[in-house]
Structure formats: structure tokens, C-alpha cells
Structure 1
Amino acid sequence: MLGRKKKSVIKRIWRKRIQPPESPTSSECPPSNHQSPSHPLSSQTNCFAQHASSPLSQSLATNTGVFPGSPQNNTIGNHSALKTSTLSILNQMKLEQLINLDCALEKGRTGPCVLVPNEEITIRRDIRVSPGFLSLVVWRYPSLPCDTILKSVPPCTPDHLYSCINPYHHTVSMVISPESPPPPYRERPPPPDRLRPPDQHDPAGLRYSSTRYHQSQETGGRIPTSGWMNIRYWENNRRVGQTYEVSTDTVSVLGDDTPLVSDSALCLSLLSSQCKSTEETIKIRNKIGLGILICREGSEVWLYNNSNIDVFVSSATLPRPIDDYSRIEQTRVYKVYPGHCLKVFDYDLAEHLLNISSRRTRRDGPIDVFYVNVSFCKGWGANYKRQEITNCPCWLQLHLEPPR
């Protein structure tokens, strides 16, 4: 009876795979009409022309210099060994592990780790991948190049003995060099939160009026905090809700009150329930879903985009041309695609920038480098039609506490 149930779950899991598209026989790309709503990047084809314009491909080209679908690229594709390797792993798993994996695939969210022995899998003679990479190809991104850099999503912590095959525990790590330009502009069609008590020094509804990041944007100085980061939510130039203080290493920012495994989460829809939002803001907020995960990892802060929409970020420590580091307040805006992650802050580099800014303090006033700006769906700056972040309908300020 147990064996029959296990086979049934395995069949159900395999049926949830994302089918890789067939390679086109002509020089033209076929229309992309097979996109799955729950897997926004699953419709990447093996046609170079169509791949070159896709968000996943643009990011991977930035990271590796190779477009998916180009002759130099190695993708697993619809190889017979893919099915054999996947079913071999599934058959060795316990029923409880299979149920956890099936649940994660059904709900399209994280969940518990599903650990299997970390043994390289030979797909073809020239392609060997990890079980974690295989799971991402089978159930999320079938055209993922084999040289893609992956990063585990906290709190997933696989080691050299075991690999996690929950596909929602892996993201594509964006690697941006200081000389690379920002991603091109691309127009797109349009758990209960644990807020702290109201802060007497931090009234809601304040108006944002400065694009400079001095030590004080609102109150004349940093508000003392026992956490390592404060999150403030804005809709255009209007503050919404109270400051959310973060003391745990990870925090999720959600669009709605979708329950998560993590107990540290900020829900934007609940924050804005007491005020009137614009139609554009509501539309974007409804698309955020699982939103973003912000993690402190040693001397770095990483942002994981778990939503189905693009996220735009800027900070003083994000890469820029070498000669731009003297202009600390002039930051670049980078796009983080769904299923991608980016190191958005580096404490070591921030300390170096502080030394630079200290020479300018007497002339320009103190400049705060311990911040990250995050906008959902809409970018801003020189490469976008919105020149200021205050023109973005739904965005966050992350204020990081300097090392003591």
C-alpha cells in the first residue's frame, strides 16, 4: 500500500515539470504562447533571437556573457537522461520527502528542505549537474544554462553531503561587475505582520522631499534601534504605516498576508489598510505576492526576489564605474528579476565610502551610505521615465545600522 502511494506521488510530481520548448526548425522564433502564470520565466525558448530579449536571458548574459540558446551555450534541454535522472532521485526518496516536494510545487512557494545525497548527475557526457540544479531545471526554468551561478535561499543550508531539491530554495545569483551598465529599461503591462508599537518619533504619513541621503531624512538623526535594520514603506512621496524594526537575520516583505514558513514578515497590504492608495499602487501591490526576502549574511545584505515581478534596487555599495565612487550620492539602479538574487549592500565597502565622505562633510553635510532603496515593478533614474524614486508607486527604504 505504501509503495503504491509513493508511486502515485512520484507520478504527480513528475507531471508538474515545466516542459522545455521545442527548438524551432525555421530561422524565426515561434510565438510564445506556452507561458505558465505560476512560472513567469518558464517560457524561455531555444531560439537565440527570442532568448536575447527575455529578462532571464539578459541577466544571464550579463552574468556569463552567453545568451541561452546560442551555439556556445550548454542547456540540459529535453534530453532523455533528464527524466531518467529525475525519476531515479525521486524513487530513492522517502514518502514524507516526496509529499513535502509535491506541496512546494503545488503552492509555488518555499517550505521545508528536501535533502538528497549531493552526488553529481551525468545528463550527457559533457554535462554534469547537482541535484539542486536539476530540480530548478525540471520544475522552474527548463532553459537554464549549466554554467549559471545558483545561490541557496535562507534558511536552506545544504552542505557537501546533501543537496536540497526544493526548487524554490534556489535562485539565480546576479553577478555585476563595476564596469557593466545597468540593465536596460523594459516596460511591462500594467503571515500576519509583526509590527512594533507606534514610535512617537516616527509619525506615519510623512512626505519625502529630499533625494539626498543625509543622516536625517525626517527627524534630524537616526532613531536608536536594537535591530540591524529599519524598513519604511512609501507610496510615491507619502510614508505609509510605522517603521518596521528588524532584529532577525532574515525578513520577508509580502504584498498580502500569505502565510510563510518564516515568522518575520512585513505585509504591505496590512500596512496600507488605514490609508487610501492610488489605483496604480493597489495594482502593483497585488502583484507582489511572496515579495522579497532580505537577509543579513555576514558583512553582506542580500535581496531574493520571490515574486513574479521585477524589483529595482539602489544603494551606495552597488557596483558602478570606478570613477563614480567619488560621487557617493549618485547611485545606479539595478533590476532584480523574479527568481534572482543580488547582494545589495556590503558593510566593508560602506566603511570605505564613509572615509571618502568624511572629507566632504564640512562642505556638503554628512552623507548616509547605510541605506538601500527598493521599488516594486517600477524603476527610476536616468535610464527610466521616472526620474525620482518618489515617482514610484510602491517602494521601500531599508535603513541599516552602522557597525558599532
Structure 2
Amino acid sequence: MFRRRALRRRLAAAGAPSVPDDQLRGLARALDAGPGGTACVPGAALRLPAARAFLHPELRDLAELRRLPLCSDHRCCNPYHFSRLCKPETPPPPYSRFVMDDVKPKEHGESTEDARRTDHERLPTGSLATDGEERPSWESEWCRLAYWELARRVGRQHGVRVRAVDVFGGDAAPGRHGLCLDALHARNDAPQPEQVRKTRAKIGLGVTLSLEGDGVWLYNRSQAPVFVSSPALDAAAARALLVWRVPPAHCLCVFDPGAPPAPAALALPHLGPVDPRSVRISFAKGWGPKYSRRDVTACPCWLEVLLAPPS
């Protein structure tokens, strides 16, 4: 439980103005609820100091934050209702210019430097989500989700019609809409490798995928990074087929309808063609030249998002 006196000192150190007691109580309750809390806390002047004090000490400007779909009050200052924009490095790191065969695989874990930055790496990709399941009609769905563990798909495709969908590891909280991975396993008796069980335990609140006016956004709400590959991320990513590292409490636009079209599909013998409207998300574990996992199918828990074709 946050004590109001300590909370007031912490906010003041982050540059907050004087905070009324009722507002301070509301913020304390929101902080106690943590990332899973849904209550908004009015107080726009506290938004930047609260984000600095509890999530992003180096945050410089409100323009670096984006409101999560669950937030319903434009004046809200609950730091857990905002996500920090995930920006690429400029210029890209040297390893992203190497082809895969020229790079030796590295250990599973990331370095301290890796943990502080957004990583993106070159890799091949293709569409695997159908897995023999034919669903030609999209009706009113804007995307479909397919959950995988290593090279085995778990459950059927999950069609999404609501604007924001959660993919999470535990039981659904009230008001959440989405895909509960534990529920998929409740209907599946297949044995799980140890690496799958350990990784699934880290997913927690998972990710939120949101269809918004400027594209499809991914919000990482878990306590571990997620890794994303999308041919539609931007022109550079589309040409190079990069993997992006999205740290906890960060967000990334994974599909921009206003961006230049993705290049024509590539034919990859071991995976099939690249799907320009397919996004892959691996929970906690990365893949690519820097990792021993060269392909997403070696990741313990991952998600494929199939975006509906343009109307």
C-alpha cells in the first residue's frame, strides 16, 4: 500500500505540482492495483511526473506516451494506462546488415545493453497460421489470432471483431476481451515441454492488440519483453524482415495502412511465402541471428496475427 506522504515526495521529485489529497488517494489505489487495474485517475498535470516516478525515469515528454485502449478518461494520470512508444535505433545496429549465414548464434539471454534498447534483427518469415484450417470468409473480423508453442499450434484460430483484444496467460479479468492461453490448455491434454511451461508463466497480462485510426498497435503489458516480426512495420522492416524487441510497458505500431505497400511475397522453401499481412509475436524469447533460436517456430510461446485483407 502506497503511503500518501511517500507518494507525494516521489511525485514532487519527478516534477509534479501540489497534489490534492483526494487525487493522491486515487493514484495510490491505482498504483496498488498495478498494471491489471482498470480505474482511471483524473489529473492530466500528473501524467508526466507519475510516468517518470513509477515506470520511465528518463521520460522527457508526453509525446513519448500513448494511451492504452482500456483508458476511458482523457484526463487520466494512471501510469499503467499509458505505454511508451518503442522507437528504432538510427542508424540500425551493424548486425542487422548481415545475412543470417554470416552470424553465429548467441546465447539465449540478452545482454544488459540489449535490455535497455529496442532490438531488431533480420530473419525469414512466412505464414503458418492456417495449419490446415480453411476459413475463407472474414465477415466482420479485422484479424485472426493463432497461438503456437514451438512448431505446434494450440487451439483454433480466434477471430477478432472488437477494436482492442487482449492475449494473456491467466484468467480473464472483468471487462477483458481476448484470448486466454490458459483456457486453451484447459481443453488440450497434450504434454508441454519444460521451456513452454516456464515461458507461459511469464506471459501474465500479455499484450493488447488494438485497431486504431493510424494503424494496428501492440501494447506490451507483461513483465517480459515481446519480439515482433511484421513485413508491414515500415519500408525498411519490409525489405529486411526484421525482428523488433518491445520492452515491458512499451508499444509499437505493427501495421500502418498508410505506409508503402510491402514487397511482393518471397518464396521460402522451409516456411512458404511471406504473408505481407501477417504479424508474429514471441513472448519473452527472441529469435534471429543473435539467438540460438533462428526461427520463430523454435520459440516456446508465440502468436501469429493474420490481418483481414483490404476491402
TM-score, scaled to structure 1: 0.61
Match of 2:103 in 1: none
* Larger-Rg structure: 1
Q: Does the 8 Å CA contact 2:38/2:70 hold for their aligned counterparts?
A: no
- Cα distance between partner residues in 2 of 1:183 and 1:334: 13
Count of paired positions = 280
1:89 counterpart SS class: coil
- Cα distance between partner residues in 2 of 1:132 and 1:255: 29
2:87 counterpart SS class: coil
Q: Does the 8 Å CA contact 2:293/2:299 hold for their aligned counterparts?
A: yes
| Superposed displacement of residue 392, structure 1 | 0.2
Q: How does 1:203-214 map to 2 (within 5 A)?
A: 211-213=125-127
Answer 1 or 2: higher relative contact order, Cα 8 Å, separation at least 6.
2
1:108-137 deviations in Å (ceiling 9; x for gaps): 123121112x4xxxxxxxxxxx42111112
- Cα distance between partner residues in 2 of 1:248 and 1:89: 37
- Cα distance between partner residues in 2 of 1:106 and 1:291: 19
Q: Does the 8 Å CA contact 2:165/2:209 hold for their aligned counterparts?
A: yes
Match of 1:155 in 2: 70
Q: Which amino acid letter does the alignment assign opposite residue 179 of structure 2?
A: L
% identical equivalent positions = 34
Q: Does the 8 Å CA contact 1:258/1:290 hold for their aligned counterparts?
A: no
Match of 1:89 in 2: 19
- Cα distance between partner residues in 1 of 2:72 and 2:203: 26
Match of 1:331 in 2: 241
1:136 counterpart SS class: helix
Match of 1:384 in 2: 291
Q: Does the 8 Å CA contact 2:144/2:159 hold for their aligned counterparts?
A: yes
- Cα distance between partner residues in 2 of 1:340 and 1:183: 23
The equivalent position to 2:87 in structure 1, one of 165, 170, 175, is 175
- Cα distance between partner residues in 2 of 1:18 and 1:218: 55
The equivalent position to 1:269 in structure 2, one of 182, 186, 196, is 182
1:213 counterpart SS class: coil
1:151-180 deviations in Å (ceiling 9; x for gaps): 111132554xxx311110111111226852
Q: How does 1:194-209 map to 2 (within 5 A)?
A: none
RMSD: 3.4
1:163-202 deviations in Å (ceiling 9; x for gaps): 311110111111226852499987159xxxxxxxxxxxxx
Q: Does the 8 Å CA contact 1:182/1:334 hold for their aligned counterparts?
A: no
Match of 2:114 in 1: none
- Cα distance between partner residues in 2 of 1:91 and 1:155: 25
Q: Which amino acid letter does the alignment assign opposite residue 12 of structure 1?
A: R
Match of 1:248 in 2: 162
Runs of 5+ consecutive residues of structure 2 not aligned to the other structure: 97-105, 112-123
2:228 counterpart SS class: strand
Higher strand share: 2
1:1-53 deviations in Å (ceiling 9; x for gaps): xxxxxxxx9x724546897xxxxxxxxxxxxxxxxxxxxxxxxxxxxxxxxxx
Runs of 5+ consecutive residues of structure 1 not aligned to the other structure: 1-8, 20-77, 119-129, 190-209
Pick closer, same or farther for the CA change 1:234–1:268 going to 2, 3 Å. Answer: same
The equivalent position to 1:346 in structure 2, one of 248, 256, 262, is 256
Q: Is 1:223 matched with 2:114?
A: no
Match of 1:58 in 2: none
- Cα distance between partner residues in 2 of 1:171 and 1:284: 23
1:233-264 deviations in Å (ceiling 9; x for gaps): 0000000012111101101111111515x331
Match of 1:304 in 2: 219
Match of 1:102 in 2: 28
TM-score, scaled to structure 2: 0.77
Q: Does the 8 Å CA contact 2:52/2:59 hold for their aligned counterparts?
A: no
Q: Is 1:12 matched with 2:3?
A: yes
1:282 counterpart SS class: helix
Q: Is 1:164 matched with 2:76?
A: yes
- Cα distance between partner residues in 2 of 1:154 and 1:173: 14
Q: Which amino acid letter does the alignment assign opposite residue 310 of structure 1?
A: P
Match of 1:292 in 2: 207
Q: Does the 8 Å CA contact 2:48/2:61 hold for their aligned counterparts?
A: no
Q: Which amino acid letter does the alignment assign opposite residue 191 of structure 2?
A: K
| Superposed displacement of residue 401, structure 1 | 0.2
1:91-119 deviations in Å (ceiling 9; x for gaps): 363xxx834x3332112123121112x4x
Q: Is 1:375 matched with 2:282?
A: yes
